[in-house]
Structures are given as structure tokens and as C-alpha cells.
Amino acid sequence: MHKFILFLLLPVIGVAQQKTFNIQGTAPVAKNGCKVYLNYQSEGKLLMDSTAVKDGQFAFKGSVKELSYARMVFDHENKGSYWVLNIGDRFYFYLTNETYKVAVKDSLKKATVTGSPTQKAYAAFLSQIGGGFMNIIDSANQEMSTADTGAIPAIRKKYDSKFAAMREKERKFISAHPDSYFSIVALTDVANRAPMSEVETLYNGLSEKVRTTTPGKEMKSRIVATHTIQVGLAAPEFEQPDVNGKLIKLSDYRGKYVLVDFWASWCHPCREENPNLKKAYGVFKEKGMEVLAVSLDDKQTRNAWIKAIETDGLPWVHVSDLKGWQNEVAVLYGIRAVPQNYLIDPEGKIIAQNLRGPELTTKLAEYIH
């Protein structure tokens, strides 16, 4: 038991001694020519690499400065990255500067992975919490894909229960392993459903090393946002470039009512809400109302962001630093889901939040006459 606990803690803070990661893969020779993709983040940038199986082998090499959540995908039929990245044969893991030996027999998802202490620790963590978020999501999607429409609510309820059970195990893991990197991973998931007061208590129990990792700093920003981003308080100032690179400040809108709208081109609920927002904008623009849209798109989806603005006919100012969920304004405001918005009065004070549909028009009519 003591060895198991030590094993969970030892490899997960910082990166290993070697300067690069090396992924050495083997696969049946029948898979020769099949593409393999690797996605991971490094210093806030989303990186993608690919290779092909040759003589029953494939390999990746690179470096990271901190543990990075990664996705490897095996394209068995060479359908292309667009088709396989989200629904193909995939393997999720934490990438650091270690050697990973990946032996694929029939599928990457069931591959044997050896050589990396971090991966072994991550597998042990997943075992403790009951499989992990993506495993539950994949199982749910697979069951729903073959189910009748009438069975969907029961399936959703079933997997909601699995998520709830997993988060209880994550809470226990966090409390028992304050020095494990995977405790901040667990807390990030717990925070999606738990009150921030509980999240803050769990966060304060983590070691300083864990709190100063990138996800630890992001969690700290979310906690701070619960105290500072509130109705009745001043909206924090920010500055980001618009679609042409011009820097736009929130304070540029002082003297007007401004709706700061967090969205993304890939967010279906956001796109569905855009007609309501356009309607409200058409009614109240001449009375002093503006919209400042902050996109959580990244560099890879920049073109999709520009196209969504044009397709949806959104005439207001759009800004983004193209860092996805690490968008500096989104982090400052504690944004973990979109769509989300804040209505700010002419003095710069937050007066309402998350206004959608008819409620947006009703609330605007209370203030703008």
C-alpha cells in the first residue's frame, strides 16, 4: 500500500530528467501505412503531429515543459484526422519528457503502455476514480448511438450517476493525495459541479507545488473570479485584439451598457442563441447598448471563428487571443462553459449575468429606455 501511494506522488510534479519525450509504437504489419495522430499542449499552444506505421512501427518525439494532457489517435482506415480525432480509436494520457512504449494489437485504446512512470501513475489514478471522464463519455456515446430516442433520457440518467460516483472518488483522492498532480486534475472535474466554496477548501489543502502548476493557477483564477466577478461589483478591465488585430479595451465602452458575451464558433448553444442576441441588439443599439464578444476559439479554429461571425451576421466587435479555454479574459472571469455573458452598466459595474432568450430583452428594457 505504501509503495502504491508513493508511486502516485513521485512522478507527477514537474517533468522527468530527460529533455524530450519519446513515443515508440509497434503495430501489426497489416497496419503499415495507417496514420497515427498526436495532439498535446505546450506553453498554452495546441500542437499536432502525425506519422504512419512503417514496418510495424511508429514514433513521436518532442518536448514539454510541464505535464500535458494528450490524445493519440490510430486511423485504421486512413479516413483522415477530421473523421477520427473525436470518434476514432483514441488513447488519452499525460505526456511528459519520458519514454513511452506503446504496443498496439487490435486497437490503440486497448494498447499496452510501458516505460513511463507518469503513465503508470495516471493509470493507477484512473483505477482509483473508476475509469475517468473520457471513458465514461465514450461509453455513453456508444450506448446512445445504438439506442432508440425514447431510451436516451434513461441512458443519460445512468451516466449522470456514474459521473456523480466518480466525483465522489475524486474528492477522496484529492484529500488523500495533496502532493499529486492528478489531484488538481480531479479538482478541475469536481469544480464543474461542486460549489466553489467546496472547491476552494479542497484547493487550499493541496501542496504549493500542485497549486503552482498551470492547472493549479487556472483553478486559483476561477476561485478568485467567484469573489470578484459578481453582480454589483466592477467588471475587471481587459484588453484583447479584434479580428483585425486592433486592441480593444472593456473601458472603451464606458458610458454605455455593454454585454460581454463569451462564445465560440464550435459551441452549438452559442450559435443557437445568436439570433436572440441579434434581435436584442437591433432594439437597443440606438439607445446605448453594445455587445463585446469574446471568443474561446484557438489558432486552429480562427478561420471557423471568422466564418461564424459572417455566417451568423454578428455586427458587433469580436475579440480573442486565440488561446481556447486558456483565453486570458475567460480565465480572468472564471469561464468554464459557454455561452456565458455579463451585462455591464455605463459606470463599469456588473448588473446581470447569463441573460438569454426573452430574458435578455426583458432585462435590457429595465435599464435602457
> Which domains, and CATH codes, for the chain?
2-119 (2.60.40.10), 138-228 (no CATH), 239-367 (3.40.30.10)
pLDDT of residue 17: 63
The mean pLDDT of 210-236, rounded to a whole number, is 92
Residues 6+ apart with CB under 8 A from 295: 263, 264, 265, 305, 318, 319, 320, 327
In this structure, the chain runs to a length of 369
Question: Quick check: 332 and 342 in contact, CB under 8 A?
Answer: no
Residue 104 predicted with pLDDT over 50: yes
Residue 299 predicted with pLDDT over 90: no
Q: With pLDDT > 90 as the criterion, what percentage of the chain qualifies?
A: 71
The whole-chain average pLDDT of the chain stands at: 90
Range with lowest mean pLDDT among 98-102, 213-217, 257-261: 213-217
Residue 16 predicted with pLDDT over 80: no
pLDDT in tens, 128-152: 998 877 777 778 877 887 888 888 8
Residue 102 predicted with pLDDT over 90: yes
Q: What is the DSSP letter of 69?
A: E
pLDDT of residue 9: 47
Residue 366 predicted with pLDDT over 80: yes
pLDDT in tens, 21-69: 999 999 999 999 999 999 998 776 778 999 999 999 999 999 998 899 9
pLDDT of residue 62: 95
pLDDT in tens, 317-340: 999 999 988 899 998 998 878 999
Angstrom distance (rounded) from CA 255 to CA 274: 24
Q: pLDDT band at 169, cuts 50/70/90?
A: very high
